[in-house]
Structure 1
Amino acid sequence: MPAPTTPLPGALAGLAPLLDHYGYLAVALLVLLDNCGVPVPGQTVLVLASVYAGTGHLDFAAVLLIAGTAATLGNMLGYLIGHTGGRAFVHRWGRYVLLTPARMERADGFFARQGGKVVTVARFVDGLRQYNGIIAGTTEMPWRRFAVFNLLGAVLWTAVWGTFGYVAGANIGSVYRTAIRYQLWFAIGLGLLAAAFLVRQVLRYRRRTREGADAGSADHPDAGSADHPEDGSADG
């Protein structure tokens, strides 16, 4: 398969020979591994394959279908890994990485409430993309719920990055340099949003805890009156 005549920038150039030799197979394998916990350039190869499609060297619909399927299956494999071995790993080794039973319980509660959002958005964040399926399985997120949001996340991720590469096409060099220039600001913005979300969750947790304590106090009024009756019957 001939490569596009436009010089490819950065990491895209390094992956070009792999895509030249293996085509769709390279897309399927790297995207699948990238989504089940193996740190390989799955997102980069998706962008590159879409660039190839934009210059007429691959079929764009096939790239999207293969990448979306591989992303879905990769995250499902990660979920199975977490579901079958994650709890045992946490119980045996969790204390060495500060993952105490109390923290694991909080993680379970968080995924019970917000797991769908995490699984959907995680693919757009390096690190979370690789391990969110394993985390979902370890926290025992219901399989059917995980499968729905996993598919949604795979479709969105594939569509966004696939469209980016396809539209860039022959202009990938300038687009890539612009993306690199602004990626720091994007990372800062994403970090601020994540911090705001975390603060919101902490405040909500504290409010619920305080309300629960107040409700408990109302249900169990001071029993002092029983110990010290005021009717004077004990004086006689």
Structure 2
Amino acid sequence: MSTDAGRPRALKCIEIAVKDIQTLLHDYGPLLVFANVLLEQAGLPLPAYPILIVAGAMAVHGDMAWQAVLLAAVVGSLIADSAWYHGGKRYGGGLLGTVCRVSLSRDSCIRQTQSLYLRTGPAILLVAKFLPGASALSTVMSGLTRLPMRRFLAFDAAGTVLWAGSAMIIGAVFNDMLGQVLDTLGRYGGYGLGALGVVLALYLAYRVFRRRFTIAHLSHVPRVTLDELDAWRAAREDGCDVVLLDVRAGGEDPMPGAIMFDPRDPIVTQPHAWPLDARIVVYCACPDEISAAVLAAKLKKAGYRNTWALAGGYNAWLERNRRQQAANDSDAGVGAAPAA
């Protein structure tokens, strides 16, 4: 008697999907692996790990050449990752912020990515593909930090071999168990999927609520624009010092006169690091200026009354510089006299 009637619809879909993957791999082989890995590493939600597991199981039975599968995965990954690398090299922190916009904690995403990469260097590329969302971030950071292209390709290729090879090994070792696993999931997996769905929904709701609460809680921290900051630093007629604090991880190419400050460090109150009436402006490279606002709030609590977060942060300063450079180049082109 068939047990299909008792199987949850989601598990039937999983079993059908595995069989479809096998059929597609029989028809298109490494080309399908190449396309799947390329699209996943480009940022599309098309996980390639399952197809690599099935490919590993098929390779054991001689239905596919494992060398061709592994080569296809490496080539697809290198093409997509090289695009992220050159994007990070050209657009820098702006692209990193764009990638982090899909995160529920975008500000911490940027800072944690920068901190992790600066601590580990390109070695993070060896394991980045095993970490959700870390692959694109680590390749963008490689370009942002001007890692030499050859070194980037070597680490990225090695990381892809480890990632794709592990999936193929799993498929090869457990190839005879795929049917048994699907049958077990069909009997008991529905309860687990339901519970997992509830937990995931609650977690997402909590993170969204926490972020909105944080933004609302820090809304009292005043913002200052770049033009206002420039006016303060140029005038200083009232005798107040202007202190500019950079709370980005690493702090490469800071704004002129900025002081690096780790927001996790304690605020010095006795003696005070700066005059209590100094104008202190904090900037970060994070959405909604969250990291800057957090430090500004701590400084106010410690007695520094005149504290602001820079509106738009570091990316606003970079964008203004790009616009000014483009305007200068345009003026130079218009004013150039034609050769006689």
Q: TM-score range by the shorter chain?
A: 0.5 to 0.7
| Pick aligned residue for 1:35 from 33, 41, 48 | 41
Q: 1:169 to 1:148 in 2, by over 3 A?
A: same
CA contact (8 A) 1:168 1:175 kept: no
Q: 1:109 to 1:169 in 2, by over 3 A?
A: closer
- Give the TM-score of the pair, scaled to structure 1: 0.59
d(CA) in 2 for partners of 1:177, 1:86 = 48
Which segment is superposed worse, 21-30 or 117-126? 117-126
CA contact (8 A) 1:86 1:137 kept: no
d(CA) in 2 for partners of 1:156, 1:178 = 29
Structure 1 residue 127, shift from structure 2 partner: 3.0
| 2:79 counterpart residue number | 73
Taking every aligned residue pair, what percent have the same amino acid on both sides?
A: 25
| 2:165 counterpart residue number | 159
Structure 1 residue 88, shift from structure 2 partner: 4.1
Structure 1 residue 179, shift from structure 2 partner: 9.7
Q: 1:85 to 1:177 in 2, by over 3 A?
A: farther
In the alignment, residue 140 of structure 1 is paired with which amino acid?
A: T
SS at match of 1:16: helix
Q: 1:118 to 1:174 in 2, by over 3 A?
A: farther
CA contact (8 A) 1:55 1:170 kept: no
Structure 1: segments with no counterpart, 5+ residues: 1-7, 185-204, 218-236
CA contact (8 A) 2:122 2:142 kept: no
Structure 1 residue 49, shift from structure 2 partner: 1.5
Which segment is superposed worse, 20-29 or 173-182? 173-182
Which segment is superposed worse, 65-74 or 150-159? 65-74
| 2:176 counterpart residue number | 170
| 2:141 counterpart residue number | 136
Which segment is superposed worse, 105-114 or 55-64? 105-114
| 1:60 counterpart residue number | 66
d(CA) in 2 for partners of 1:157, 1:95 = 25
In the alignment, residue 26 of structure 1 is paired with which amino acid?
A: L
In the alignment, residue 30 of structure 2 is paired with which amino acid?
A: Y
CA contact (8 A) 1:112 1:141 kept: no
Structure 1 residue 94, shift from structure 2 partner: 8.3
Structure 1 residue 79, shift from structure 2 partner: 1.9
CA contact (8 A) 2:56 2:172 kept: yes
For residues 77-130 of structure 1, the C-alpha deviation after alignment (integer angstroms, 9 at most, x for no partner) is 222233334544568998998856x9856753442223434322221134334x
Q: 1:10 to 1:72 in 2, by over 3 A?
A: farther
| 1:50 counterpart residue number | 56
CA contact (8 A) 2:87 2:140 kept: no
| 1:234 counterpart residue number | none
d(CA) in 2 for partners of 1:127, 1:13 = 28
In the alignment, residue 160 of structure 2 is paired with which amino acid?
A: A
Structure 1 residue 165, shift from structure 2 partner: 1.1
SS at match of 1:161: helix
CA contact (8 A) 1:68 1:154 kept: yes
d(CA) in 1 for partners of 2:57, 2:179 = 11
SS at match of 1:9: helix
Q: 1:71 to 1:179 in 2, by over 3 A?
A: farther
CA contact (8 A) 2:53 2:167 kept: yes
CA contact (8 A) 2:117 2:138 kept: no
CA contact (8 A) 2:30 2:72 kept: yes
Structure 1 residue 20, shift from structure 2 partner: 2.8
Structure 1 residue 34, shift from structure 2 partner: 1.4
For residues 122-148 of structure 1, the C-alpha deviation after alignment (integer angstroms, 9 at most, x for no partner) is 21134334x235542564352445334
For residues 153-204 of structure 1, the C-alpha deviation after alignment (integer angstroms, 9 at most, x for no partner) is 11211221111112222332235678997998xxxxxxxxxxxxxxxxxxxx
Higher strand share: 2
